[in-house]
Structure 1
Amino acid sequence: MSDRDWHERLAALGLEIVGEPRALAGGDIAEVSRLETRQGAVVAKRDDPRTLAAEADGLRALREAGSALIVPEVIALDDDLLVMEALDAGGRRDGARLGEGLRELHGVVGETHGWPRDNRCGPTPQRNTPCADGRVFQREQRLLALGRACLERGSLERTTFAALERIARGLEAWLPDAPPRLVHGDLWSGNVLYTPRGPAIIDPAVYYHYPEVDLAMLTLFGHPGEAFFEAYWDGGAPDDWPRRERLFQLYPLLNHLLLFGGGYRGAVERTIAELA
């Protein structure tokens, strides 16, 4: 979008730009810019209207949860344009506060696993059809949905998909059903910001499910630190946490395999072998 277009679009929403728009990382999926306005700094994102509506819905849900985590405020949603509060990085990395805030967020309990609307995990459509049983939701809406997509694209061997299907069909044998908790849904380290006001979370793909899906995503490509886990568990991790961690890492690994190809096939195969 040209500078003139930015000025016109934001002026129609009651915002007056001062200075030049600055493109932000993430523009490979959507057009994202930071803009200084007389009303304060904002981040504006252009994308498919349904995708932006789902993101705005998720941001509002995270803010309404009332946790100590900072979530950008949605300022305006206008068709293919989402305008939200800009957050500044540069704060102290505080794993304990992140853990405490995430524990508070996961304290919000829903009626069913899933969400009233579908959304996206990165650019991948994410099905959130509500389900009373968390095992069924994980099997049908996460593991098998992504596994079939990878199989159809040729990214997953049929023997590997068969092993994945056996794991998915066997969840009831070891994973207890649990109350559905509000989760961010795509909580990799790039969606955590340490601001001067404290830890913040951005770019959600929210739904209700097992809270460990957020923890497993945080540890998939990094580690939030011992202080984080001490604050989050507040008394010790469940005995089967290592198995849950590997289980809930399968979905994002399948998503990466679907998006980026064979470089993630080995990680998917190893995780399936560990769970078999």
Structure 2
Amino acid sequence: MDASLERVLTSLSLTPRGELRPMSGGDIAAVYWLDTDQGAVVVKRDDGQRLAGEADGLEALRASGCGLIVPEVLAQAGEWLVMEALQPSRREAGDAFALGQGLRTLHADTGDAHGWPHDNACGRTPQPNAPLADGRVFQRQRRLLPLAAACHERCLLDAALRQRIETLADDLESWLPDAPASLLHGDLWSGNLLYTSRGPALIDPAVYRHYPEVDLAMLTLFGSPGEAFFEAYWNGDAPADWPRREALFQLYPLLNHLLLFGGGYLGGVERAVVRVESYQD
């Protein structure tokens, strides 16, 4: 075992029982299960700045009182993050409704500014979070324009599609109302949801404050949380322009996937742009 990890475990008074066992996932960071005499923990190894952002996000989610399970951060030191181990279990019938209620409560935690006190990362991509008062400006300047530029610079996005994204971003004030900034998980695809015997759990956040539909759009990007989820979340009050917001807020993660994983996501970016453009103001 790495000497620096041994020092972290010693500072936590944890005595390892066996070796680190790789866990599934871990596309960006290495993730391990470790049994100790004091109980199991999850150990993550990655760039220290990214791990500090993840630890900060986990603590913010735990402090929100949203009712969803969030693993406790035990220590973050350099390239190591040690946290509470959550034992996955079979998804139960009431989990989708509980997830909807929990996210509704999380998103009710609002602030005046969109962003976060610290930058963090979405996957390996640095995520600038310098706060802005207007959510449309934040989406344009902190999300869409930087990612479109980065994809274009790596020849993953042609000039014409980049211009369409920039035009879309410049036009947000014409249809998207400003709103209080909700506390978000920030990267809420299905792989960052874990079902446990205590209920749904949130892992691997990229926390900031912004429109609540950001989390919903990520949930629907690669699947569907189901009708029970939306029944609990909307509580009969879904915004009329949800389909357009869904397409808008799927554009940033699709651009990020294009940047991280290549041209297989270009079609998704194009379709999201077309969907936003197709609505009449």
TM-score by length of 1: 0.96
Partner of 2:161: 160
Partner of 2:262: 261
Partner of 1:252: 253
SS in 1 for 2:88: coil
Does the CA contact (< 8 Å) of 1:191 and 1:203 recur in 2?
A: yes
Does the CA contact (< 8 Å) of 1:151 and 1:157 recur in 2?
A: yes
**Residues 61-100 of structure 1: matches in 2 within 5 Å?**
61-93=60-92, 94-100=95-101
Partner of 2:50: 51
- Report the Cα distance in structure 2 between the residues aligned to 1:231 and 1:141, rounded to whole angstroms: 30
- Report the Cα distance in structure 2 between the residues aligned to 1:110 and 1:36, rounded to whole angstroms: 40
Deviation at 1:36, TM superposition (A): 1.2
Partner of 1:229: 230
- Report the Cα distance in structure 2 between the residues aligned to 1:115 and 1:35, rounded to whole angstroms: 32
Counterpart of 2:235, as a letter, is: D
Partner of 1:134: 135
SS in 2 for 1:142: helix
- Report the Cα distance in structure 2 between the residues aligned to 1:247 and 1:92, rounded to whole angstroms: 30
Partner of 1:39: 38
- Report the Cα distance in structure 2 between the residues aligned to 1:168 and 1:129, rounded to whole angstroms: 18
- Report the Cα distance in structure 2 between the residues aligned to 1:79 and 1:121, rounded to whole angstroms: 19
- Report the Cα distance in structure 1 between the residues aligned to 2:27 and 2:162, rounded to whole angstroms: 30
Does the CA contact (< 8 Å) of 2:54 and 2:205 recur in 1?
A: yes
Deviation at 1:3, TM superposition (A): 7.0
Deviation at 1:129, TM superposition (A): 1.1
Partner of 2:13: 14
- Report the Cα distance in structure 1 between the residues aligned to 2:239 and 2:34, rounded to whole angstroms: 44
Does the CA contact (< 8 Å) of 1:59 and 1:72 recur in 2?
A: yes
Counterpart of 1:129, as a letter, is: A
Deviation at 1:4, TM superposition (A): 7.2
- Report the Cα distance in structure 2 between the residues aligned to 1:145 and 1:243, rounded to whole angstroms: 21
Structure 2: 5+ residue stretches without partners: none
Deviation at 1:244, TM superposition (A): 0.3
Counterpart of 1:156, as a letter, is: L
Partner of 2:122: 121
Deviation at 1:39, TM superposition (A): 2.0
Moved more, 227-236 or 25-34: 25-34
Deviation at 1:111, TM superposition (A): 2.5
**Residues 180-259 of structure 1: matches in 2 within 5 Å?**
180-259=181-260
The C-alpha deviation readout for 1:20-62, integer Å capped at 9, x for no partner, is: 3211123342221111112221101111111111111000000
Partner of 2:147: 146
Does the CA contact (< 8 Å) of 1:185 and 1:213 recur in 2?
A: yes
- Report the Cα distance in structure 2 between the residues aligned to 1:224 and 1:218, rounded to whole angstroms: 7
SS in 2 for 1:40: coil
TM-score by length of 2: 0.94
- Report the Cα distance in structure 1 between the residues aligned to 2:66 and 2:97, rounded to whole angstroms: 14
Does the CA contact (< 8 Å) of 1:118 and 1:129 recur in 2?
A: yes
- Report the Cα distance in structure 1 between the residues aligned to 2:17 and 2:7, rounded to whole angstroms: 13
Does the CA contact (< 8 Å) of 1:7 and 1:16 recur in 2?
A: no
Counterpart of 2:38, as a letter, is: Q
- Report the Cα distance in structure 2 between the residues aligned to 1:187 and 1:14, rounded to whole angstroms: 33
- Report the Cα distance in structure 1 between the residues aligned to 2:41 and 2:57, rounded to whole angstroms: 18
SS in 1 for 2:143: helix
How well do the aligned residues superpose, as a CA RMSD in angstroms?
1.4
- Report the Cα distance in structure 2 between the residues aligned to 1:226 and 1:27, rounded to whole angstroms: 30
The C-alpha deviation readout for 1:225-267, integer Å capped at 9, x for no partner, is: 0000000001131100000000000000000111111111111
Counterpart of 2:107, as a letter, is: H
Runs of 4+ displaced beyond 2 Å = 2-9, 25-28
Q: Percent identity?
A: 64
Does the CA contact (< 8 Å) of 1:47 and 1:80 recur in 2?
A: yes
Structure 1: 5+ residue stretches without partners: none
Counterpart of 1:240, as a letter, is: D
- Report the Cα distance in structure 1 between the residues aligned to 2:4 and 2:143, rounded to whole angstroms: 39
Does the CA contact (< 8 Å) of 2:12 and 2:74 recur in 1?
A: no
